[in-house]
Structure 1
Amino acid sequence: YVKNRAWSAGALIAIACEKIAFTESGSMGAAEPRPMEEKNVSALRAEFSATAERRRRNPQIAEAMVDQSVEIKGLKPRGKLLTLTASQAKKYGYADFIANTYDELWRAINVKEPKVVNEYLNWSERFSQITSDPTYSFLFLMGGLLLLFVELQIPGFGIPGILGITLIVLTFVGNYLAGLAGIEAILLLIGGIILLLIELHTPGFGIPGITGIVALFISLYMVLGGGINAIRSIILASILVVGIIILFIRYLPESFVWKRLALKEATRTDAGYTVVNVQQDLVGKEGISVTLLRPVGIVEIENRRYDCLTEGEYIPPGTRVIVTKVIGNKIFVRKIS
């Protein structure tokens, strides 16, 4: 019963039915596949044609809903997709009845006291409907990548990283619930995240980080359906993320909001400003790194822990270090060779 639209897969479902009823505002067709590759068009065109023949309907009309190259004189020119209105569907044998209400439909098919069962989407179906939508998937992907980039620029692991991973996971889970992604894509995602977490606690950037990034991109490729469209979405999301970061760095310092939040003048000691807890007496003292310094971390000096920085090098936990200088409340250390 085509109450409003039977487009795309809906058209194939309708054609497969023994009887088709339309409301006067109903329409059917527009079933061109995405991505629109010759292989997909050919396969779907044959599917529509065979289904129409089985129900003794004109197969050429069904093919014209899928393939723009099909021409039907008086109905569809070459280069356009076919979408039938209710009156056209009735004329060409793709509608058996025109019924604007259920009562009219029951009378048309001669059914008395019908039992009508209404089906509604549950929470998981609604969730997957939203998160598996290509537009939302793309936005979640772009937002997740942007937040992960922000997380990599700050010490530790905090809210940007959690939100970034959450958005990417939402993309995967939604497509998995919708049946568009398999368990292998989820496993690649988990493996990629684990490898990146290992990389965060390893000096430098090596095999875990590279392998983790590759695993994430492969899993994204799979969950977005593969093919050129998936590659295009990933590349476009990456370009947009980089563009937003560049705009953020370029224009944020000059924005009204930033000027309201940031100090307009430097707080120099000669202007009367002082820094709390200046630890100049720590210069030259030795200690042990408690966490990875990348370049920020925790160092234990004389049984007391301090937040310290290196001058660019990565220092693993358990390494002997020496305090080289103290600027304000920033304590700089280097590895003792």
Structure 2
Amino acid sequence: MLIIIIIHTLGHFSAFQKSSLFLDIANWLTSQEVSLFLTCITFLGFLYQLYSRRINFAGIVGFIALLMIFLGFIIQGSISLVTLSTFIIGVLFIVIELFIVGAILGIIGLLLVTFSLITMGDNLSMMLFNVIVAMILTVIEWVILVKFFKKRISLFDQVVLKDSTSKESGYTSHNDNTYLVGQNATTLTDLRPSGIIVLDNQRIDAVSEGSFIMKDTAVKIIEVEGTRVVVREQNSK
């Protein structure tokens, strides 16, 4: 069914070839300078759209530029059925990617769309040059968006954990033992300077403030940093 629709569409556009006005417009759209400009706008607009949470002006302009390229080659009659089919399948894959977590279909879709751009028309070297220039500019745009504007692809928010892991948000990577500061305990082993102390029948790994402390010595917990518990002998100053 899709192939029949494509063939029917190409048949309608072939009628435009009889009009010199449409041919002039098509020749202008597919010229080296204009096609290069439209290809760059397409790539730059689509990349910026990836970093937006909703459809924006850049994405719309990029889509219009891509549509103008295809219309130019279709009116010229220099676009093959394979190229047009590849483009449509690639776009479908990209659309499906928006609703399915994963990157395989999206990557395949982008590759198919890029391939269809390169194979449009009869001048393969010109279109390949256009795509290479557009990709170079896209890389520059990506660096600017990520490095300077700290942009992130909003689509990845569906699979990337964004919950805050700060202490203020209630997240701790270990047990919070800060309540131990100021309490008295007894060394169960010698602290050389690390060892074990006992507090309310609870064994706790601890280190001395720096000096050697014998076992069965009364100590005071003076600092807790993460899992590190620092003690001082009670009769020391």
Deviation at 1:194, TM superposition (A): 1.3
Q: How does 1:209-288 map to 2 (within 5 A)?
A: 209-225=106-122, 227-247=124-144
Q: Give the structure 2 partner of residue 3 of structure 1.
A: none
Deviation at 1:142, TM superposition (A): 0.6
Q: Give the structure 2 partner of residue 200 of structure 1.
A: 98
Deviation at 1:141, TM superposition (A): 0.6
Report the Cα distance in structure 2 between the residues aligned to 1:220 and 1:151, rounded to whole angstroms. 19
Deviation at 1:226, TM superposition (A): 5.3
Cα pair 1:294 1:313 within 8 Å, conserved: no
Q: Give the structure 1 partner of residue 26 of structure 2.
A: 128
Cα pair 2:44 2:62 within 8 Å, conserved: yes
Cα pair 1:295 1:313 within 8 Å, conserved: no
Residue 155 (structure 1) aligned with residue 53 (structure 2): yes
Cα pair 2:83 2:116 within 8 Å, conserved: yes
Deviation at 1:248, TM superposition (A): 6.1
Residue 312 (structure 1) aligned with residue 160 (structure 2): yes
Which of 151, 173, 181 does residue 79 from structure 2 map onto?
A: 181
Q: Give the structure 2 partner of residue 142 of structure 1.
A: 40
Q: How does 1:43-82 map to 2 (within 5 A)?
A: none
Report the Cα distance in structure 2 between the residues aligned to 1:133 and 1:216, rounded to whole angstroms. 20
Give per-residue Cα distances to partners, 1:33-75, cap 9 Å, x unaligned. xxxxxxxxxxxxxxxxxxxxxxxxxxxxxxxxxxxxxxxxxxx
- Which one-letter code corresponds to 1:239 in the other structure? I
Deviation at 1:173, TM superposition (A): 1.1
* CA distance 1:190–1:176, change in 2 (3 Å): same
* Percent identity for Structure 1 against Structure 2: 17
* CA distance 1:181–1:311, change in 2 (3 Å): closer
Report the Cα distance in structure 2 between the residues aligned to 1:249 and 1:156, rounded to whole angstroms. 18
* CA distance 1:163–1:245, change in 2 (3 Å): same
Report the Cα distance in structure 2 between the residues aligned to 1:145 and 1:187, rounded to whole angstroms. 20
Which of 141, 161, 166 does residue 64 from structure 2 map onto?
A: 166
Q: Which has the higher helix share?
A: 2
Deviation at 1:251, TM superposition (A): 7.0
Deviation at 1:133, TM superposition (A): 1.0
Bigger relative contact order, structure 1 or 2 (CA pairs below 8 A, ≥6 apart): 2
- Which one-letter code corresponds to 1:121 in the other structure? S
Deviation at 1:249, TM superposition (A): 6.0
Larger radius of gyration: 2
Deviation at 1:311, TM superposition (A): 7.9
Cα pair 2:73 2:79 within 8 Å, conserved: yes
- How many residue pairs match? The answer is 145
Cα pair 2:32 2:126 within 8 Å, conserved: no
Structure 1 residue runs without a partner (length 5+): 1-118, 254-292, 297-309, 315-323, 326-337
Q: Give secondary structure in 2 for the equivalent of 1:139.
A: helix
Report the Cα distance in structure 1 between the residues aligned to 2:68 and 2:161, rounded to whole angstroms. 36
Deviation at 1:313, TM superposition (A): 4.3
Q: Give secondary structure in 2 for the equivalent of 1:194.
A: helix
Deviation at 1:165, TM superposition (A): 1.7
Report the Cα distance in structure 2 between the residues aligned to 1:213 and 1:222, rounded to whole angstroms. 14
Deviation at 1:183, TM superposition (A): 3.1
* CA distance 1:313–1:199, change in 2 (3 Å): farther
Q: Give the structure 1 partner of residue 196 of structure 2.
A: none
Give per-residue Cα distances to partners, 1:56-109, cap 9 Å, x unaligned. xxxxxxxxxxxxxxxxxxxxxxxxxxxxxxxxxxxxxxxxxxxxxxxxxxxxxx
